[in-house]
């Protein structure tokens, strides 16, 4: 997903995300437990659902969304932080000043 040289193998990445979704069902990695892997998992799952990336097939975003659907409470601190940052960016945009 982060390689600049090669095209990513979409089926492999989607399969890894699906496997990770099933793994997290049994072995949780939550923000409250301060697990070191939680931030990494959240980062790659967020990259998977990034709408700015042009894809031919949508199996990677689908797998990322399924991961967040089943395990959103495990990433609630990160989801809240990203939501607040996006709201601050939106409110600081000069075009949105007319809405207030």
The pLDDT tens digits for 35-84 are 778 888 888 898 888 877 777 788 999 999 999 999 888 888 888 888 77
- Check residue 54 and give its pLDDT: 77
Residue 22: the pLDDT is: 92
The pLDDT assigned to 31 comes to 64
Helices within 1-100 (DSSP H only): 10-26, 38-48, 59-71, 76-92
pLDDT number for residue 17: 93
Radius of gyration (C-alpha) of the chain in whole angstroms: 16
* pLDDT at residue 57, as a whole number: 82
d(CA 73, CA 30): 8
Task: Report the pLDDT value the prediction gives residue 95, as an integer from 0 to 100.
Answer: 62
Tell me what the mean pLDDT of segment 4-11 comes to.
77
Residue 39, both tokens: 């931030």
Is residue 38 within 8 A of residue 79, CB to CB? The reply is no
pLDDT at position 19 is 94
């Amino acid at each position: 997903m982060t390689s600049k040289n090669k095209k990513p193998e979409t089926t492999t990445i989607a399969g890894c995300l699906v496997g990770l979704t099933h793994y997290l069902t049994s072995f949780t990695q939550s923000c409250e437990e301060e697990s070191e892997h939680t931030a990494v998992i959240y980062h790659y799952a967020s990259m998977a659902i990034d709408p700015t990336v042009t894809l031919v097939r949508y199996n990677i975003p689908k797998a990322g969304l399924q991961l967040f659907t089943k395990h959103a409470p495990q990433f609630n601190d990160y989801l809240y932080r990203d939501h607040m940052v996006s709201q601050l960016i939106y409110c600081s945009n000069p075009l949105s000043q007319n809405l207030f």
